[in-house]
Structure 1
Amino acid sequence: MNLNAVKAIYRYEMARFGRTLLQSFISPVISTSLYFVVFGAAIGSRIEEVDGVTYGAFIVPGLIMLSIMTQATTNASFAIYFPKFIGTIYEQLSAPVNFLEITLGYVGAAATKALFIGVVILLTAALFVDLQIQNWPAMMAFMVLTCISFSLLGFIIGIWASNFEQLQLIPLLVITPLVFLGGSFYSVSMLPPVWQTITLFNPVIYLISGFRWSFFGMSDVPVGLSLLAIAGFTLLCMYTIYWIFRTGWRLRQ
């Protein structure tokens, strides 16, 4: 493996992130604060506890997941789409690097950015509520795996997109609604039985449920099923990327 190529791509993407670090830092802090004002204060005054956890603390895992999923997808999709848009992607395809090295560079940088945002939101949430994380290794594992898997998804979206509007299509119209409907701000047990069954078809519920379990020791679905879901999703994205580079789909047009 050409580690120099991976480092070059990774450093380039992280340098671009560093130039907008202030914006990347302030934006999630303000957004998280607004969520706590709207959901924590307005709704939290009516819902004091959910399964023995204060509502303000209960929504923290959902807020973190919402941010890292959208950030990972957006960062990775733009990172690969822009070279394709200006034509420099052909230089990478003709260079002595394989698809794995290109993917590691772009996806690694996007996952790092999303992980940074997740940590910032976690620290911001600690200013509003009393957080007690029961399983730190599991919490970090779920956060890292989510950053990686959705960065892989964003990489696929960036290759698929043919204009800047399509880059925002999946994050805005698919990922964000799935997160809101995936138990990020409520427990699935609070829904009527029919809607509980329907919610189980939402793949995001498995990620949020497992992530919330690492905080409070409670989950809407078994933790093992959550790990199986995120592992399967990651493998599916990796195979899709392999197929794209093998066939040249959307890369050689």
Structure 2
Amino acid sequence: MALPPGAARPIRHYGPVNWLGLTTLFRREFRAYLKDWLETVVAPTFSTLIYVAVFALAAGPDPVEWAGPGGLPHFLAPGLVIYVVVLRAAETTVYSLTYFKIERLLGDILMPPLASWEIAAGYALAGTAAGLVTGLPCLVAMLLFAGTGIADPALLGLALLLGAFLLAAAGTLVGLWAQKWDQAAAFFGFLLIPVTFLSGVFAPVALLPGPLAGLVALNPIYYAIDAARIAFGGVGAEPVGRSLAVLAASGAALWACSAVLIARGWRIKP
């Protein structure tokens, strides 16, 4: 409704949380993810099935001892689902922030009355939702075509949620750091993908050499995969409580770091 001439526009007051601004930022980032659904949802599911087929053919008809009673597909399914979820969660935040920085559009984020922690939360939550939506059809594909089942759905959901939030918060940090596309791509090519592959996706960590296995224990993604493997009915190497605690603490720490850096204007203000 138009204001009468000379009337002052009413001042909008916000509570401890600017829910309108936070949800608006979340919706904008999540809608941008959904626009490319063929690339962000369909393609990862197809790639996951290709991974399972290739490893099953490579293993041959003889059972793999370390794969457990469910066979190789049952062993691969939890790690591949986690891999798809965390990769999409990180890509959503990294590429969105990098694009806005390169195109000099970050003023759209900094001008609204949003606290730094709300901006960090908006990006992290949007990345988390994107990762979970991408992981859902991959999970269904594993259940249908790999012959797997879920022994503890609640534990699996919690592992996926915490893993997605962890990498979405990490992606926010990388997006703040990256000044060009090459730097954003380097994070995936030289850090995230190698670290994920060495966290128990395709083989038990116990089969790795001693020093390398010790380094894997410092990788939070390893705990997400281990918890997911237990949820699928497999055998985990770590206590469930420890895995979930590591994921929750790591995600909270990365989110807090990104909020502090946004408040300081690190690499986002001239």
Normalising to structure 1: TM-score of the pair? Answer: 0.92
Select 2:252's aligned residue among 210, 219, 235. 235
Select 2:161's aligned residue among 130, 135, 144. 144
What do residues 63-118 of structure 1 show as CA deviations (whole Å, max 9, x unaligned)?
11111111111111112222222222123212211112222322222111110111
Whole-angstrom CA distance in 1 between matches of 2:154 and 2:144: 22
Alignment of 1:1-253 (within 5 A): 1-43=17-59, 45-49=61-65, 50-191=67-208, 196-253=213-270
Whole-angstrom CA distance in 1 between matches of 2:168 and 2:213: 29
Contact preservation (8 Å) 2:163, 2:221: no
What do residues 120-144 of structure 1 show as CA deviations (whole Å, max 9, x unaligned)?
1111112322222111101000101
What is the one-letter code of the residue matched to 1:63? L
1:226: how far off? 0.9
Contact preservation (8 Å) 1:149, 1:237: yes
Contact preservation (8 Å) 1:74, 1:168: no
- Name the stretch that deviates more: 37-46 or 225-234: 37-46
Instruction: Provide the aligned length of Structure 1 versus Structure 2.
Output: 253
Structure 1 regions of 5+ residues with no counterpart? none
1:227: how far off? 1.4
Normalising to structure 2: TM-score of the pair? Answer: 0.86
**Quick one: percent identity of the two aligned structures?**
25
Q: In 2 relative to 1, CA 228–123 (structure 1 residues): closer, same or farther, beyond 3 Å? A: same
Structure 2 regions of 5+ residues with no counterpart? 1-16
Whole-angstrom CA distance in 1 between matches of 2:119 and 2:227: 30
Contact preservation (8 Å) 1:74, 1:167: no
1:43: how far off? 2.3
**Aligned-residue RMSD, C-alpha:** 1.9
Contact preservation (8 Å) 1:10, 1:109: yes
